[in-house]
C-alpha cells in the first residue's frame, strides 16, 4: 500500500478513536476489538486493501512492539501501590514466576505430544505465549497510581514482571534449537540468562528510579524554582535503564518495570517528608516561603504517566490494526484453535490455581485471575525476537500462525467478556 493511503487510513483510525471515546467506553467490549475488526476487513481476509507480512517485516515489527511494551511496563510500574510490602507482592511474584513457568511447561508439553514439535520449538512457543500482556489488558489493569483493587493490582503487577521472567525460557528454546549458547549442562543459561540477567535488571531498575527521583527533587528545590519536563525525563529514564540493561546482558523489560515502581515509591516518600517539614514549619511560625499549592508539587511519575497513556492507546491501535493485516485464512486450523482453547481453558487457570495454592487467595479472585490472562503485543515481540535470532523459515511460519491466532482469539474472547464479568462478579464497593 502506498504511503499516502497509509496516512489516510491511520488518520481515519485516530480521528475515529478520538471522537468516539465516550461511545467505546460505554460499549460492552474493549476498543481492541474495534481495531481488530477494521484490520481484518482491510486486510487479506476480506477486502485485501493491505497486507503486512510479519516475517519479512520482522525488524520493523520487533521495534514497534518493543517500544509499545516498554511504555506499558513503565506505566504499570508507576501504578503500583505504595509502599511495596512482602504480603502484598507475594501473589504477583508467584503469578509472574511460578504460574508463568507452569504455563510454559504445559504449552510445551501440549505442542510436543500433540503437534510433534521438537522440544526446543515447543519450549519457545510456550515462552512466547505464556506472558500476559501489559498493552492490551488495560480494562483489567490498575487504572491510576495506587489503585488498590486486588484483581487489577495482581494482573498489572504480574504483566509487569512476567515480560522479564519469560525471556530465560525464550533463550532456552532458542538454545535447544542451536540458536543460542546454553553451555555444558545448561550452566551458562542458568548463570547468565536466569540468575544474572534477572537480578541485574531488578537492581538497575530500582537504582535508576530512585536516582531520578532524588535528582528531580533536588533540582526543583524547596521553592520549586526549577522547572522539570516530567514526561520527557520519565521517558528518558526508560531509554537509559533499557540501554544499560541491554549493554550488560540484563532483561531490559524487567528493569523498566522496576524503574517505574522505584521512581513512584521514592517520589512519594520525598513528598511525604516535605509535607511534614512544611507542617512543622507552620507550627513553629517559620518564615518558609511555600504557597499552599506547592505543598504537593508535581512529580515525574504522574506527569509521565499522562503522556504514556496516550502513547499506549496509539500503539494499541496501530499494532492491533496491523494484526488484522497479518492474518490469512490458512492460519485458522485445528492446531491454532485447539492451542488457544487449551491455553485459555486449561493451562492458564490451572497454573494460576497451582501457583496460588499456598496463599489465602479467595477462589473468586483465583478464578478471575485465571480467566483474564490476556495475550497480545508482548507475544508478538518475543516471536519477532526469535525470528531475528535465526529461527528457520519453516519454524517461523509455524509459530507465526499459532501465535497470531491465539492473540486474535484472546482479543475477541477476553475483550468481549471483560466488562460483563467485571460488572457482574467484581463490582467495586
Q: What is the pLDDT at residue 146?
A: 62
All structural domains of the chain: 3-425 (1.20.1530.20)
CA–CA separation, 76 and 283 (whole Å) = 38
**DSSP 8-state code for residue 360:** -
Q: What is the pLDDT at residue 347?
A: 96
CA–CA separation, 89 and 80 (whole Å) = 10
CA–CA separation, 259 and 239 (whole Å) = 11
Q: What is the pLDDT at residue 298?
A: 54
pTM: 0.90
Q: What is the DSSP string of 292-326?
A: GGGGS---HHHHHHHHHHHHHHHHHHHHHHHHHHH
Q: Which of 120, 110, 139, 168 is nearest to 343 (CA)?
A: 110
Q: What is the pLDDT at residue 66?
A: 95
Q: What is the pLDDT at residue 293?
A: 42
- CA distances (Å), origin 249, targets 201, 245, 399: 9, 6, 26
Q: What is the pLDDT at residue 295?
A: 46
Q: Residue 75 has which C-alpha cell?
A: 506505566
pLDDT per residue rounded down to tens, the chain (429 residues): 666 777 777 787 778 777 777 777 777 777 888 889 989 998 899 988 888 999 999 999 999 999 999 999 998 888 887 677 888 899 999 999 999 999 999 999 999 999 999 999 999 999 999 998 876 666 666 666 666 778 888 888 998 898 778 999 999 999 999 999 999 989 999 999 999 999 999 999 999 999 988 888 787 665 555 566 667 888 899 999 999 999 999 999 999 999 999 998 888 888 777 667 666 766 666 555 554 444 445 566 666 776 677 788 888 888 999 999 999 999 999 999 999 999 999 999 999 999 999 888 889 999 999 998 888 899 999 999 999 999 999 999 999 999 999 999 999 998 888 878 877 776 654
Amino acid at each position: 500500500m502506498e504511503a499516502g493511503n497509509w496516512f489516510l487510513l491511520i488518520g481515519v483510525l485516530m480521528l475515529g478513536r478520538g471522537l468516539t471515546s465516550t461511545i467505546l467506553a460505554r460499549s460492552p467490549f474493549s476498543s481492541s476489538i474495534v481495531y481488530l475488526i477494521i484490520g481484518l476487513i482491510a486486510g487479506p481476509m476480506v477486502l485485501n486493501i493491505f497486507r503486512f507480512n510479519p516475517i519479512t517485516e520482522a525488524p520493523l515489527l520487533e521495534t514497534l512492539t518493543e517500544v509499545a511494551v516498554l511504555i506499558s511496563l513503565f506505566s504499570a510500574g508507576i501504578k503500583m501501590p505504595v509502599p511495596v510490602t512482602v504480603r502484598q507482592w507475594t501473589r504477583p511474584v508467584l503469578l509472574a514466576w511460578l504460574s508463568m513457568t507452569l504455563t510454559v511447561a504445559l504449552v510445551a508439553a501440549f505442542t510436543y505430544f500433540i503437534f510433534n514439535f521438537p522440544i526446543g520449538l515447543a519450549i519457545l512457543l510456550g515462552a512466547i505465549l505464556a506472558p500476559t500482556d501489559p498493552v492490551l489488558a488495560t480494562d483489567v489493569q490498575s487504572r491510576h497510581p495506587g489503585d488498590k483493587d486486588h484483581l487489577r493490582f495482581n494482573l498489572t503487577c504480574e504483566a509487569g514482571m512476567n515480560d522479564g521472567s519469560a525471556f530465560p525460557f525464550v533463550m532456552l528454546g532458542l538454545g535447544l534449537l542451536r540458536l543460542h549458547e546454553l553451555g555444558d549442562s545448561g550452566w551458562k543459561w542458568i548463570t547468565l540468562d536466569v540468575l544474572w540477567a534477572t537480578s541485574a535488571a531488578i537492581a538497575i531498575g530500582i537504582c535508576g528510579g530512585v536516582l531520578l527521583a532524588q535528582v528531580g527533587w533536588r533540582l526543583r528545590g524547596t521553592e520549586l524554582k526549577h522547572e522539570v519536563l516530567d514526561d520527557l525525563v520519565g521517558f528518558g529514564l526508560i531509554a537509559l535503564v533499557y540501554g544499560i540493561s541491554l549493554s550488560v546482558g540484563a532483561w531490559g523489560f524487567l528493569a523498566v518495570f522496576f524503574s517505574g515502581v522505584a521512581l513512584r515509591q521514592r517520589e512519594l516518600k520525598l513528598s511525604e517528608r516535605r509535607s511534614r517539614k512544611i507542617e512543622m514549619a507552620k507550627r513553629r511560625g517559620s518564615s518558609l516561603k511555600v504557597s499552599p499549592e506547592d505543598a504537593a508539587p508535581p512529580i515525574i511519575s504522574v506527569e509521565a504517566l499522562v503522556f504514556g497513556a496516550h502513547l499506549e492507546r496509539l500503539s494499541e491501535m496501530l499494532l492491533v490494526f496491523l494484526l488484522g493485516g497479518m492474518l490469512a485464512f490458512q492460519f485458522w486450523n485445528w492446531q491454532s484453535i485447539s492451542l488457544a482453547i487449551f491455553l485459555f481453558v486449561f493451562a492458564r487457570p490451572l497454573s494460576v490455581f497451582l501457583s496460588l495454592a499456598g496463599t489465602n487467595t479467595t477462589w473468586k479472585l483465583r478464578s478471575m485471575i485465571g480467566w483474564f490472562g490476556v495475550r497480545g503485543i508482548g507475544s508478538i515481540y518475543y516471536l519477532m525476537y526469535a525470528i531475528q535470532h535465526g529461527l528457520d523459515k519453516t519454524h517461523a511460519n509455524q509459530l507465526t500462525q499459532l501465535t497470531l491466532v491465539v492473540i486474535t482469539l484472546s482479543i475477541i474472547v477476553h475483550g468481549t467478556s471483560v466488562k460483563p464479568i467485571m460488572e457482574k462478579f467484581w463490582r467495586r464497593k
